[in-house]
Chain A
Amino acid sequence: MMKRLLITLSAFILLGIILPGLPILAQPSKTPHENPDRATGSFDGARLLLSYSQITDQANNSQYQSARETLNELEKVDPPEDVRHIIDQYQALNHDLYATLDNLESLLNETTDRLSRNRVDEAGQILDGSEGVIQDAEGLLKDTQAAARGLSEKLGVFAASATDRLSQAYARLRESSARLADLIARLKSIRQGLNERYNWMTRLTPTALTLRLTPESAFVGDSITATGRLECAGGALAAKKISFFTDNLSAGSAVTGSDGTYITSINMPYLFQNNILFTAQYEPSGEDSGVFLASQSPPVNMSAKCYPTRFDITVPETVFCGLPFTLSGEVSTDENNVSRYVRVSLDNLELAAAMVSGRFNFEVNIPQNTMPGRRNLKIAVAPMGRYTGAIKKQGVNLSVTTLRIETQVPTTVFLPGTIKVEGKVISGSSPLANALVIIKLMNSATTVKTASDGSFSSSIESRGWSPIGFHHVEVTAAIPGKTTVTRTIERRVLTINLLSTVPGLALITWLALVLYRKKRIQTAPEMVTVTPEAVKLPVEVPAASQISMPALKYAGIKGRILSAYRSGLAAVEKISGVIMSPSATLREFLKTARLPTPAAAAPFAELTGIAESTLYSAGDPPDITAARAEALVNIINEELQREPS
């Protein structure tokens, strides 16, 4: 026993040593990810301060837009709650500061531009406005520096435990902030210089310019005549260049004659507005720059004429990525139909362009990769000659071509009858209206269209005599107008045809009943009673004791008892039909053999006990025991031969 225990333990210990070595349950060693649920980390304050210093450096290089965009990115940082508020404040101040500096630089650039073109009045106005902006920038810089200090304090820069990295990051932020102060001082100095130049230029000679246009109205593209005069306090200015503008577009130029007047033809621009404002401008150049100031004529209004274009078009409510759709419409004018250039674009993406005339149909394809969702479709007819352009803008649902079908089909169906199939067709994440849905079951099919919410409901009548079995309900949905783009799903249903199943089941049940009754009649007598006739036929059943019981070499009282047991056993084997096996003990046989009457079973149990005691006892039993055994055999034989009452 001990030996086995030791071996078992050794086997377990051996496996315990080997198994961990075998990486059976181990993962590959180069796993390039961590469990995000268990991931931990600390907020990197030093990196935040370094990022602020980098952003400030961008501002120092006049990259205000980039600096603000980078600040926007920092809004996605998830800082600890105790510093979140001060970070938000610091970033808001920086946003304002960079916007102010950007504005200041723009104002100073505009001032420089106006002064270079001798337009001192405009330059003076801008300069006045820039003074307040400089003061704002100085104030914001101070606030920002104070906020930076407060933030750094929160991040532990001034604590004794501050790391070198954190201290260095703060030092760098301070340097960048100091450079920003230098930048403001530099801009202030530039403004001062521009102011001095402005004051000097106000002493130059002012000029005056007039403009007259004839006729007072014209078609777009037609030639019109511009006349006028340029003069100064000293008289007419000859040989000076005059430029004409409509809004900010150049419309031509002229040169003044010896009397300061000019006359020239300019074309009506293709602006397709009812009224167009023209101005004439004189800007001194060369040596004149140091003598005269610029001047601009009062604006002159021209009435522009053009032919209107009528444009009607039908746009589908839903279009699909990667699939063409058809645009139908009509372009017309008061005159004869002319070919017009039509451009179709989805947001900023040009989809198609074509020359059309009158009624038209043309196919537009949307690239497969276009972002799905609610998008703006623009169809523009380009202006042509005197004909105005026309634009139609309409929102469309752009869907992906992948369809999804959600259905509710019963799992078990009794036939004959109808099956109700309900569901929804979805394209991308939106329900698909007007999609054609075909439902098939066995040899039946039905067709239905989806409602505006993509839902459908239909009943299908099934045919066939298949009694019980699994069948597939097939649901196919097709994109409206694109029957080649479909999605099919199958749902398994258990169909039970009552017309064919019930008679079949009834027949099977009847057959089963008949067979059962027949079998019962055949087996019942054997199982119920043991007749005396059976007991009287010892020859048919061989004496089991003679076959299986080993020869017992006992004499005297023991021999008498065992002989009596063999007699009793033979009688019991005949009646019960159970033969004592060679390996069975006397007690096992007693349990196995079932005697029909308790009157026989009790004496046989007693006889078995006497026989067991005789076999396993060292000495001889008393004579009375042998007599009792023989008496019991007689009782058993009598009981077994008795007629059942």
Chain B
Amino acid sequence: MSLRNYLLSVIAVLMVLLALGIWFYPSNSDFRAENPLWNGVQAMATDYHIQPLDALAGLPPSPYGVSLFVIPYLDFKTAEMEQLRRFVSQGGRLILADDYGYGNRVLEYLGLRARFTGEVLLDPLVNYKNERLPRITRLQPDALTANTDNLVFNHATCLANVSGNESLALSSPFSFLDLNGNGSHEDNEPSGPLPVISRHQLGDGQVILIADPSLFINSMNAIEGNAALMRNIASGADALYIDQSHLEQSELYRSRSWLQKARHLASTSAGSAGLVIIALTAALVPVWHQKKEKNE
């Protein structure tokens, strides 16, 4: 084997191994329905038959009875926000779960006063293991909070401009917003109870605000009353969707998307023809080389 052939073979083998690794390595992207690891939402998606959407255009035309989870970690285009507004005003239920993302852009567009503060909510006393995992113990009687007496959040924020009757869950009086990030409560830092879940009517539909999307990840959804909250959300919906088009994409996910596109391309007639030509060429090249050597 010539040196050139040898190098080409090594590179080809490495490429194939890398592609196989990317294809079969489990997804590790946050909040993705295909991620079975601690930070994915595969358990929730499987248990409640939640359909992942790669674009908001995939929403059903009639949104009545439909609940849509949106975790806004990427910014929205105006057309996408208009799709959300139409979805809610026509009877859909939007569950906007955010902490440090672009949730306020959506709220502003929808014309709601409520906002995500985007500051870290800590609870040094009423918590699960540490202050960044606050327990939410003040739950208003409601269909969404039925059959549970506390929730556990994970690196959450809180809501602002939420009235008493809109608020469905509040943090404990010992919680506070860590504005300066020093982990201790200062006098100028707002302290609990702070609203973390609220409901707002909009047109024929509703917007549910949850100040922490991590509530739904695989490692959190079975802790304390988190499962009951999810069950209550699901029981009030005929169909559940999760928007994945506004989640951050890991390089693994991006690479896998390229491979998926390549596979899709190969499955078209033009792609298949191209593959056949490449395979034939690869098979005939040694024959051609042999013939050439014989002639020489």
Residues of A within 8 A of B (CB): 3-4, 7-8, 11, 15, 22-28, 30-37, 39-41, 44, 47-48, 50-51, 70, 73-74, 76-78, 165, 321, 368-373, 400, 402, 428-429
Among A4, A39, A165, chain B packs the most CB atoms within 10 A around the CB of: A39
Among B7, B29, B129, B131, chain A packs the most CB atoms within 10 A around the CB of: B129
Cα A36 to Cα B38 in complex, Å, equals 9
Of chain B, the residue at the smallest CB distance from A24 is: B251
The residues of A that contact B3 with a CB separation of less than 8 Å are 3-4, 7
Of chain A, the residue at the smallest CB distance from B132 is: A34
Query: Quick check: is B236 within 8 A (CB to CB) of the other chain?
Result: yes
5 A-B pairs besides A370-B143, A400-B143 with CB distance below 8 A are A32-B155, A39-B128, A44-B131, A74-B174, A373-B147
Query: Quick check: is B39 within 8 A (CB to CB) of the other chain?
Result: yes
Per-residue CB contact flags for chain B residues 68-82 toward chain A (1 = under 8 Å, else 0) read: 000001000000000
Name 11 interchain pairs, CB-CB below 8 A, sorted by A. Answer: A22-B251, A26-B251, A26-B252, A28-B73, A30-B73, A30-B248, A33-B154, A36-B133, A44-B124, A51-B173, A76-B150
**A36-B220 in contact (CB<8A):** yes
Query: Quick check: is B180 within 8 A (CB to CB) of the other chain?
Result: no
Minimum CB–CB distance for B204 against chain A, Å: 10
Query: Quick check: is B85 within 8 A (CB to CB) of the other chain?
Result: no
**B38-A37 in contact (CB<8A):** yes
Nearest 10 A/B pairs, CB to CB: A41-B130, A33-B214, A28-B248, A47-B124, A44-B124, A39-B129, A33-B154, A23-B251, A32-B155, A371-B143
The residues of A that contact B234 with a CB separation of less than 8 Å are 402
Per-residue CB contact flags for chain B residues 182-195 toward chain A (1 = under 8 Å, else 0) read: 00110000000000
Taking CB atoms and an 8 Å cut-off, the chain B residues in 22-41 that contact chain A are 22, 25, 28-30, 38-39
Minimum CB–CB distance for A402 against chain B, Å: 5
Minimum CB–CB distance for B200 against chain A, Å: 12
Minimum CB–CB distance for B210 against chain A, Å: 13
Query: Quick check: is B126 within 8 A (CB to CB) of the other chain?
Result: yes
The residues of A that contact B6 with a CB separation of less than 8 Å are 4, 7
Minimum CB–CB distance for A173 against chain B, Å: 15
From B150, B174, B223, B236, A368 is in contact (CB under 8 Å) with B236
Cα A78 to Cα B128 in complex, Å, equals 8
Minimum CB–CB distance for B7 against chain A, Å: 6
Cα A4 to Cα B237 in complex, Å, equals 63
Of chain A, the residue at the smallest CB distance from B256 is: A24
**B235-A428 in contact (CB<8A):** yes
The residues of A that contact B125 with a CB separation of less than 8 Å are 44, 47-48, 51, 74, 77
Q: A40-B130, A41-B127, A429-B235 are in contact. Are A51 and B251 (CB under 8 A)?
A: no
Cα A183 to Cα B223 in complex, Å, equals 43
Minimum CB–CB distance for B83 against chain A, Å: 23
Minimum CB–CB distance for B249 against chain A, Å: 8
Query: Quick check: is B283 within 8 A (CB to CB) of the other chain?
Result: no
Query: Quick check: is B250 within 8 A (CB to CB) of the other chain?
Result: yes
Cα A139 to Cα B67 in complex, Å, equals 57
The residues of A that contact B250 with a CB separation of less than 8 Å are 23, 25-28
**A47-B174 in contact (CB<8A):** yes
Cα A49 to Cα B178 in complex, Å, equals 19
The residues of B that contact A30 with a CB separation of less than 8 Å are 73, 100, 248
Cα A7 to Cα B214 in complex, Å, equals 47
Of chain B, the residue at the smallest CB distance from A50 is: B185
Minimum CB–CB distance for A22 against chain B, Å: 7
Residues of B within 8 A of A (CB): 3, 6-7, 10-11, 14, 22, 25, 28-30, 38-39, 73, 99-100, 124-133, 135, 137, 141-147, 150, 152, 154-155, 172-174, 184-185, 199, 206, 214, 217, 219-220, 223, 231, 234-238, 248-252, 255
**B129-A32 in contact (CB<8A):** no
Cα A77 to Cα B132 in complex, Å, equals 14
Cα A428 to Cα B231 in complex, Å, equals 9
Cα A253 to Cα B8 in complex, Å, equals 111
Of chain A, the residue at the smallest CB distance from B135 is: A76
The A interface, classified by DSSP as helix, strand, loop or mixed, is loop
**A73-B173 in contact (CB<8A):** yes
Cα A39 to Cα B57 in complex, Å, equals 38
The residues of A that contact B100 with a CB separation of less than 8 Å are 30, 32
Q: A77-B125, A321-B236 are in contact. Are A25 and B154 (CB under 8 A)?
A: no
Of chain B, the residue at the smallest CB distance from A51 is: B174
Minimum CB–CB distance for B166 against chain A, Å: 12
**A7-B143 in contact (CB<8A):** no
Of chain B, the residue at the smallest CB distance from A369 is: B143
Cα A454 to Cα B117 in complex, Å, equals 46
Q: A11-B11, A36-B220, A400-B143 are in contact. Are A31 and B30 (CB under 8 A)?
A: yes
The residues of B that contact A73 with a CB separation of less than 8 Å are 126, 137, 172-174
**B219-A36 in contact (CB<8A):** yes
The residues of A that contact B248 with a CB separation of less than 8 Å are 28, 30
**B128-A36 in contact (CB<8A):** yes
Minimum CB–CB distance for A184 against chain B, Å: 25
Among A22, A25, A50, A370, chain B packs the most CB atoms within 10 A around the CB of: A25
Q: A23-B251, A73-B173, A369-B142 are in contact. Are A402 and B238 (CB under 8 A)?
A: yes
The residues of B that contact A34 with a CB separation of less than 8 Å are 132-133, 154-155
Of chain A, the residue at the smallest CB distance from B14 is: A15
From A24, A36, A70, B173 is in contact (CB under 8 Å) with A70
Of chain B, the residue at the smallest CB distance from A404 is: B235
Cα A351 to Cα B137 in complex, Å, equals 29
The residues of A that contact B130 with a CB separation of less than 8 Å are 39-41
Cα A41 to Cα B122 in complex, Å, equals 13
From A25, A35, A370, B38 is in contact (CB under 8 Å) with A35
Minimum CB–CB distance for B40 against chain A, Å: 11
Cα A609 to Cα B255 in complex, Å, equals 60
**A28-B30 in contact (CB<8A):** yes
Cα A449 to Cα B234 in complex, Å, equals 25
The residues of B that contact A165 with a CB separation of less than 8 Å are 184
**B255-A24 in contact (CB<8A):** yes
The residues of A that contact B146 with a CB separation of less than 8 Å are 371-373
Of chain A, the residue at the smallest CB distance from B191 is: A54
From B10, B25, B28, B155, A8 is in contact (CB under 8 Å) with B10
Minimum CB–CB distance for B38 against chain A, Å: 5
Minimum CB–CB distance for B242 against chain A, Å: 17
Q: A33-B154, A34-B155, A73-B172 are in contact. Are A371 and B236 (CB under 8 A)?
A: no
Cα A24 to Cα B25 in complex, Å, equals 11
From A44, A369, A371, B199 is in contact (CB under 8 Å) with A369
**A372-B235 in contact (CB<8A):** yes
From A27, A70, A372, B28 is in contact (CB under 8 Å) with A27
The residues of A that contact B132 with a CB separation of less than 8 Å are 34, 39
Minimum CB–CB distance for B124 against chain A, Å: 4
Of chain A, the residue at the smallest CB distance from B152 is: A36
Q: A7-B3, A369-B143 are in contact. Are A36 and B154 (CB under 8 A)?
A: yes
Of chain A, the residue at the smallest CB distance from B239 is: A402
The residues of B that contact A400 with a CB separation of less than 8 Å are 143, 235-236
